[in-house]
């Protein structure tokens, strides 16, 4: 069977455009001699549509578009993800479904069985689980169609399964000869290798070919990498879609292919490309044409400036240098060199006059009080004021520049450097920021070397260094990874770090600053546990270790 895969980048809620894209690729598949053309999970409305699903009018438009697509099909099959409804006395009656259409009709519907309800997923909130799975006879094959999570519960691969049911095994038991999985699986580094290993094991054991089609693009904080995968019945990877861009290709289950061995790049390559796509898609889908950010002379804002120039084009990026009396001459020189290297535009507007004026206005209220972090935060908030003003005046998308390490421990100022539409590197630890900077400079200096090698500083007081307030970043990031991603507690982390008091102080900072993160810009997710929708801890609690 010749299966054409439409690896598309849908826009959530833009049902008409998504429908048109599916239709165009379907007809291309028909002209290329495909027997079947397949598209990702919820391709007609975009994934995840979240509470849009609860709007009856939204579901009506999805149903109408689904029926219209079906009405235009000929003898070539069309499979795509959509929403269907089947009401009975219990439950929502709403399903995450894959429909198979041909000869002008929806001939078969398979509902999703396994509804993920962890991390960034909340499908139990909206959908009912399939009552059963079935195969469908089509062009001499018995199609076993599953949807994303349905295939992530294989007993031969997982030592500990999330679900009792195994819908894919049920399809095998019912005589499927070709497996189809329509997916919307968010990317994090290492996820593609995990997909490969799991799907390879499944197809090898079940001795069935598989076409796995995944969407591509970014939906606010989630990045989908594409890389749709096709396997033969020996578990060999035969075809892989492009990464971080739309793609179309045909997989012939009867053809011999040279097995593909390389399918995931280095950490730096993958994360950088994920971040660029995340920024680019947020801007495109939210209709931003240009970007603005504050450039401090530090490595974080330098990295975000490079990503922005790649995503928007250098001609559409403007940076603000906002020096104060504490800004070093080197930071300004380094920033100007980066601006020149990238070919972006800039403005230099001092915050010092406003800072002095604000201190004078507040002087009576602060009488008898020494300067402290209040004055440091005041500087950051003045910079936030400038940046938001520029964003408002010119309609620019404001990018925040804080990294995951800083956001974790609250080393960021609410309504200051946290202002913005998108936290570009909010899921990238400081040690990883350095790796990405070196990756960017692999073919020559883009980020000035002095920015990479100098000691990081917020430059909010004389001779300030980050490590005056924080542990060395190597140590800090080790603690944070264990706490945030592995859910380790003090004793386990101290066994690795060897400093109980340091661990306690760091974890306390993480917990105390939950309120800041609840008000932060959306964070582009490139790890398995990012700040945002996938992390749900109470702001106020009295959990004692």
What is the tens place of the pLDDT at every residue in 205-264?
A: 999 999 999 999 999 999 999 999 999 999 999 999 999 999 999 999 999 999 999 999
Q: What's the confidence (pLDDT) of residue 87? A: 83
The CA-based diameter of the chain, rounded to the nearest angstrom, is 86
Q: What's the confidence (pLDDT) of residue 155? A: 79
| 69 pLDDT more than 70 | yes
Strand partners of residue 245? none
C-alpha to C-alpha distance for 458 and 466, rounded to whole angstroms: 7
Write down the catalytic residue from 2, 19, 21, 41: 41
- Phi (first) and psi of residue 31, to 5 degrees: -70, -25
- Phi (first) and psi of residue 59, to 5 degrees: -65, -35
State the pLDDT confidence band at 458, using cuts at 50, 70 and 90.
low
Q: Do residues 409 and 506 make contact, with C-beta atoms less than 8 angstroms apart?
A: yes
| 179 pLDDT more than 90 | yes
Q: Do residues 211 and 182 make contact, with C-beta atoms less than 8 angstroms apart?
A: no
Using CA atoms, how far residue 521 sits from 19, 304, 386, 425, in Å, is 31, 15, 17, 11
C-alpha to C-alpha distance for 539 and 520, rounded to whole angstroms: 13
CATH class of 270-466+513-518: alpha beta
Domain boundaries, the chain: 2-255, 270-466+513-518, 471-511
Q: What's the confidence (pLDDT) of residue 325? A: 86
Q: Do residues 358 and 381 make contact, with C-beta atoms less than 8 angstroms apart?
A: no
Q: What's the confidence (pLDDT) of residue 466? A: 67
Strand order in the sheet with 135-138: 135-138, 141-147, 178-183, 210-214, 229-231, 237-240
Q: What's the confidence (pLDDT) of residue 159? A: 79
Nearest Cα neighbor of 517 from 433, 429, 405 is 405
User: Which region among 149-158, 401-410, 521-530 has the lowest average model confidence (pLDDT)?
Assistant: 149-158
Q: What's the confidence (pLDDT) of residue 99? A: 98
| 332 pLDDT more than 70 | yes
Classified as helix, coil or strand, 59 is: helix
Q: Is the four-CA dihedral 147, 152, 154, 157 of positive or negative sign?
A: positive
435 counts as catalytic: no
Nearest Cα neighbor of 263 from 231, 234, 233, 239 is 239
DSSP letter assigned to residue 68 = H
Nearest Cα neighbor of 304 from 408, 437, 112 is 437
Give the list of residues 6+ apart from residue 262 with CB closer than 8 angstroms, or none.
none
Write down the catalytic residue from 21, 101, 123, 148: 148
Using CA atoms, how far residue 123 sits from 9, 14, 48, 51, 436, in Å, is 20, 20, 9, 10, 34
Using CA atoms, how far residue 316 sits from 299, 309, 396, 441, in Å, is 21, 7, 9, 22
DSSP H/E element including 417? none
Nearest Cα neighbor of 307 from 445, 191, 416, 423 is 423
Q: Which CATH number fits domain 2-255: 3.90.1580.10, 3.30.450.20, 3.30.565.10, 3.60.110.10?
A: 3.60.110.10
Strand order in the sheet with 291-294: 345-348, 317-321, 291-294, 397-400, 422-423
148 counts as catalytic: yes
Strand order in the sheet with 94-102: 105-111, 94-102, 77-85, 36-38, 2-7, 247-252
170 CB neighbour count, 10 Å cutoff: 18
More confident residue, 383 or 542: 383
Q: Summarize the confidence of residues 496-524 as an average pLDDT.
A: 95
Q: Summarize the confidence of residues 294-307 as an average pLDDT.
A: 96
Q: Summarize the confidence of residues 445-449 as an average pLDDT.
A: 96
State the pLDDT confidence band at 545, using cuts at 50, 70 and 90.
low
90-147 pLDDT per residue, tens: 788 999 999 999 999 999 999 999 999 999 999 999 999 999 999 999 999 999 999 9
Whether pTM > 0.85 for this model: the answer is yes
User: Which region among 150-159, 252-261, 333-342, 460-469 has the lowest average model confidence (pLDDT)?
Assistant: 460-469
Strand partners of residue 229? 212, 240
Q: What's the confidence (pLDDT) of residue 544? A: 67
Mean per-residue pLDDT of the chain: 95
How many percent of the chain have pLDDT more than 70?
A: 98
C-alpha to C-alpha distance for 459 and 284, rounded to whole angstroms: 34
Instruction: Please report how many Cα atoms fall inside a 13 Å half-sphere around the Cα of residue 183, on the Cβ side.
Output: 28
41 counts as catalytic: yes
> 293-316 burial, b if ≥16 CB within 10 A, otherwise e?
bbbbbbbbbbbbbbbbbbbbebeb
> 71-95 burial, b if ≥16 CB within 10 A, otherwise e?
eebeebbbbbbbbbeeeeeeeeebb
Q: Give me the DSSP letters along 207-224.
A: T--EEEEE-EEEETTEEE
Write down the catalytic residue from 112, 404, 430, 516: 112
Q: Is the four-CA dihedral 285, 286, 289, 291 of positive or negative sign?
A: negative
Q: Are strands 77-85 and 94-102 parallel, antiparallel or unpaired?
A: antiparallel
| 282 pLDDT more than 70 | yes
């Amino acid at each position: 069977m010749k299966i054409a895969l439409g690896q598309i980048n849908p826009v959530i809620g833009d049902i008409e455009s998504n429908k048109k894209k599916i239709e165009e690729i379907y007809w291309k598949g028909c002209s290329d001699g495909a027997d079947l053309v397949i598209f990702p999970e919820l391709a007609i409305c975009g994934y995840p549509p979240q509470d849009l699903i609860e709007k009856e009018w939204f579901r009506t438009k999805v149903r109408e578009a689904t029926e219209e697509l079906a009405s235009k099909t000929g003898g070539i099959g069309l499979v795509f993800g959509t929403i269907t409804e089947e009401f009975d006395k219990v439950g929502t009656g709403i399903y995450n479904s894959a429909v198979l259409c041909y000869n002008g009709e929806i001939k078969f519907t398979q509902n999703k069985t396994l509804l993920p309800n962890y991390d960034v997923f909340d499908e139990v909130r909206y959908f009912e689980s399939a009552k059963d799975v079935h195969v469908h006879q089509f062009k001499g094959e018995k199609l076993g169609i599953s949807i994303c999570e349905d295939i992530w519960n294989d007993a031969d691969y997982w030592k500990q399964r999330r679900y009792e049911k195994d819908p894919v095994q049920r399809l095998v038991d019912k005589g499927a000869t070709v497996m189809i999985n329509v997916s919307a699986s968010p990317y994090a580094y290492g996820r593609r290798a995990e997909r490969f290993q799991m799907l390879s094991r499944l197809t090898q054991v079940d001795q069935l070919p598989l076409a796995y089609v995944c969407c591509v693009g970014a939906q606010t904080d989630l990045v989908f990498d594409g890389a749709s995968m096709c396997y033969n019945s020996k578990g060999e990877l035969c075809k892989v879609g492009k990464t971080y861009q739309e793609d179309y290709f045909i997989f012939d289950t009867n053809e011999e292919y040279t097995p593909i061995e390389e399918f995931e790049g280095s950490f730096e390559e993958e994360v950088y490309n994920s971040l660029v796509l995340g920024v680019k898609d947020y801007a495109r889908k939210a209709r931003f044409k240009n970007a603005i950010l504050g450039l401090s002379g530090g490595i974080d804002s330098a990295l975000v400036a490079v990503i922005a120039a790649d995503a928007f084009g250098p001609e559409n990026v403007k940076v603000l240098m906002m020096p104060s009396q504490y800004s070093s001459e080197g930071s300004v020189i380094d920033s100007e060199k980066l601006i020149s290297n990238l070919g972006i535009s800039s403005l230099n507007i001092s915050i010092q006059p406003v800072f002095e004026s604000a201190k004078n206005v507040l002087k009576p209220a602060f009488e008898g009080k020494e300067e402290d972090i209040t004055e440091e935060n005041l500087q950051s908030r003045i910079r936030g004021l400038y940046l938001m003003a520029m964003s408002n005046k010119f309609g620019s998308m404001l990018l925040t520049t804080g990294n995951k390490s800083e956001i974790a421990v609250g080393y960021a100022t609410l309504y200051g450097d946290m202002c913005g539409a998108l936290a570009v590197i909010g899921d990238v630890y400081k040690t990883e920021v350095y790796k990405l900077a070196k990756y960017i400079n692999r073919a020559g200096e883009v980020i000035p070397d002095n920015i990479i090698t100098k000691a990081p500083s917020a430059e909010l007081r004389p001779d300030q260094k980050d490590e005056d307030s924080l542990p060395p970043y190597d140590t800090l990031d080790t603690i944070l990874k264990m706490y945030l991603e592995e859910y380790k507690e003090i004793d386990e982390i101290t066994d690795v770090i060897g400093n109980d008091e340091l661990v306690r102080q760091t974890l306390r900072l993480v917990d105390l600053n939950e309120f800041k993160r609840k008000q932060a810009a959306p964070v582009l997710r490139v790890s398995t546990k990012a700040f945002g929708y996938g992390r749900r801890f109470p702001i106020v609690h009295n959990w004692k270790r």
